[in-house]
Structure 1
Amino acid sequence: MTTIAIVGAGPGLGAAVARRFGREGFGVALVARDRRRLEGLAAELGAAGVTAGAFPADVRDPASLTAALAAAAEALGTVEVLQYSPLPRRDFMRPVLETTAEDLTGPVELSVYGPVTAVRQVLPGMRALGRGTLLFVNGATAVVPEPERAGTSIAFAAEGAYAHLLHERLAPEGVHVAQLIIPGAIVAGHPRKDPAVLAEVLWELHRGREGFRCFADDLDS
């Protein structure tokens, strides 16, 4: 069995992606800070026939994230797919003229140091398999900076640049890298931004292995 590791797993998009990939036979590694919530989600998935495990970690703590992903591979199998999609904190989104260098520490730890740490942990396993997928999920500020949300605008843009560099370099090795931009909120029942719909988009990005950036909805929606 190979594994999808969902970094930033929660009851919305993370759970939907876990169910979608689980139906295809993937083990599911749920990675986030809240152990109790992860264990509850893993139990729900298990009841539905999906092999899943809870691997608590703080993505802003490289050692914690590295250990969680290593444990996931040991318990469930090599990580073939990594989805990096932790939600930013509200205080990351301050107006640009009120944003100090210190205010950018958290966003950069979340959206730059975190994904770099995660990729470096799982990439050797993907190379050994001869295949893999790295999926980055971001909000619209990754491509359209918002002056009232400076932290995510800066950090998401950096994350997108990193992902694009990986896309260019890893394609010849059979590792596909894609970024999904989700403008606005994820909304249950929305024709394009319902969690299950987005999970299907992410599955197709993994399966189709074409292109880099995909938009879940229009930017002005």
Structure 2
Amino acid sequence: MAIVGAGPGLGAAVAHRFGREGFAVALVARDRERLDAIVGELADGGVTARGFVADVRRPEELTAALGAAASALGTVEVLQYSPVPHRDFMRPVLDTGHRDLIGPIEFSVYGPVAAVQQVLPGMRRLGRGTILFVNGGTAAVPRPERAGTSIAFAAESAYGHLLHDRLAGEGIHVAQLVIPGAIVAGHARKDPAALAETLWRLHRERRGYRHYADDLDS
């Protein structure tokens, strides 16, 4: 599998969960040092993993990283797109100009489209696959103080839903997990390990498109 936006919280937890099931894991992020640390931790737990450096706002880097991951670890059967948005994407709507939306759209639309287009041919050759989009609560309920993510997550959500409807007949399941609020260590539903279990369940059960990690007002 490949985790785009892999970090020491959710990304590492998902890598552990899928790794326990025998998946080799490609971790894609910007920070080589952080990637190496996660790969080392996974290796200590018996999980095969490698890190690949790419910025999701640079589609050529992202597609190259996923291509290298497939060459090194095998066809990407599961893709998770879950990078954490930049704080400067979250401006109030009346303070958001058209140029302020470039970053969010690159991050949440161009990035996912590039990633999916890179891995989809391999999934089709396998005759199976799973694509998981992980978003914050503004994907479901737009917030006027977080205009960038509200607008870009809505577009990402629509793209994922279109893929869900189009690819289901090919054995490729597309799902979105909306995580309201912050990921919280020790939380019954939003601890990284609990979220990783939820994502594993979405991969296995293959039911519906949008799912919620917790209540939207949490």
Q: TM-score, normalised by structure 1?
A: 0.98
Aligned partners of 1:167 and 1:75: how far apart in 2?
Answer: 28
Equivalent residue letter for 1:30: L
Identity %: 77
1:13 partnered with 2:10: yes
Of residues 28, 33, 49, the one that matches 2:30 is 33
Q: 1:29-178 to 2 correspondence within 5 Å?
A: 29-178=26-175
Distance in 1, Cα, partners of 2:187 & 2:40: 27
Distance 1:60 1:35 in 2: 17
**Aligned-pair distance for 1:26?**
0.2
Q: Does 1:211 align with 2:208?
A: yes
CA distance in 2, matches of 1:118, 1:86: 12
Query: After TM superposition, where is structure 1 displaced by more than 6 Å over at least 4 residues in a row?
Result: none
Q: Distance in 2 between matches of 1:207 and 1:120?
A: 22
Deviations 1:30-54 (A, max 9, x none): 0000011001111110111000000
Cα deviations by residue, 1:83-112 (Å, 9 ceiling, x for unpaired) = 000011000000000000000000000000
TM-score, normalisation: structure 2: 1.00
**Aligned equivalents of 1:151 and 1:104: distance in 2?**
6
Cα RMSD (Å) = 0.4
- Partner-residue secondary structure (3-state), 2:61: helix
1:181, 1:85 → 2: CA distance?
Answer: 11
SS of equivalent residue, structure 2 residue 182: coil
What SS class does the counterpart of residue 145 from structure 2 fall into?
Answer: coil
3-state SS in 2 of match to 1:190 = coil
Separation in 2 of the partners of 1:25 and 1:72? 16
The one-letter amino acid of 2:170's match is E
For structure 2, the residue ranges without an aligned partner over 5 or more in a row are none
Deviation sequence 1:166-209 (CA, Å, 0-9, x none) = 00000000000000000000000000100000000000000001
Distance 2:147 2:132 in 1: 23
* Counterpart residue identity of residue 100, structure 1: G
Count of residue pairs the alignment pairs up: 218
